[in-house]
Amino acid sequence: MKIGFVGLGNMGGPMAANLVAAGHAVAGYDPVSVLPEGVRPCADAAQAAAGAEVVITMLPSGDVLRGVAAQLVPAMAPGAVLLDCSTVDVDSARAVADLAAAAGLRALDAPVSGGVGGAAAGTLTFMVGGPSDAVETARPLFDVMGARMVHCGPAGNGQAAKICNNMILGATMAVTCEAFALADRLGLERQAMFDVVSTSSGNSWSISTYCPAPGVGPVSPADNDYRPGFAAELMLKDLRLSQQAAVQVDADTPLGACATTLYENFVEGPGEDGRGRDFSALLARFESHGRRAQ
């Protein structure tokens, strides 16, 4: 397939590289990042989109997505698919879908789970919103870039699934870190803690796959001085998106709100050191804080 790709940073770069390796013709544009080998460089986003059957975007925010979409849509051929893999607010995803539909294009919002490692390995999970025919057009690309694709319904539902998933992840990682810090103070060895919880009712992905305690369970960023697999700043972004959405639809999400506050303090608060670290490094925050310091 002839593919345009806009946004070739930590996630988009390896995704595009996998498409090239699979034999697709990829034209790319990124104002900052170096393009992967085999991606044809373009002067701007519109040039990358010209003549493409599918245009993929991986961008940092809804505002940026809206601005880039305004450049892409006029340059795209009728019937082409605009496949946005960014994590943005639901309203922006639906606004871009409306813009594309008005121009005779098809749009999919397809945020991903799996982090930089999953992007490089081609094992991402895509949560997709948009029309079924566009999903089928893009399916061969999902098969190259990921291990799983779930069609979640109409435009915006991919983003809805992503922010709900990551609200769960943020809250479960926070309480997992709390529990390890409490176990430390109670004199329970971390390996024993892991062995019990990973096989009991308290188990979760945050324990069994991405344990925040170094030297316990499968290898995770905790074993690499918390170098980001999924940065704390990105978790904070997704939690804020979940709370923005909750306000818009009048949903009561007290644990999501609490997790958001914890990560705000961890990333942006005075004396905290979460910026530039993996989101599981929240364990260090609970190790250093006592109840009387709250």
Instruction: Give the catalytic positions in this structure.
Output: 162
Q: 76: helix, coil or strand?
A: coil
Residue type, 164: C
Strands (E) located in the chain: 2-6, 25-29, 40-41, 54-57, 81-84, 106-109, 112-113, 124-129, 146-153
Count the Cβ atoms, other than its own, within 10 Å of residue 38.
14
Contact 60, 37 (CB under 8 A): no
Q: 109: helix, coil or strand?
A: strand
What is d(CA 286, CA 294) in angstroms, rounded to the nearest whole number?
Answer: 11
Q: 169, exposed or middle or buried, with CB in 10 Å at 0-12, 13-18, 19+? A: buried
Written as six digits, the tokens of 16 are 């595009």
DSSP sequence for 22-71: TT-EEEEE-SSSPPPTTPEE-SSHHHHHTT-SEEEE--S-HHHHHHHHHH
Tell me the β-bridge partners of 150. Answer: 127
Helix then strand then coil, % of the chain, to nearest 5:
50, 15, 35
Q: What are the backbone dihedrals phi and psi of residue 64, each rounded to the nearest 5 degrees, phi first? A: -65, -40
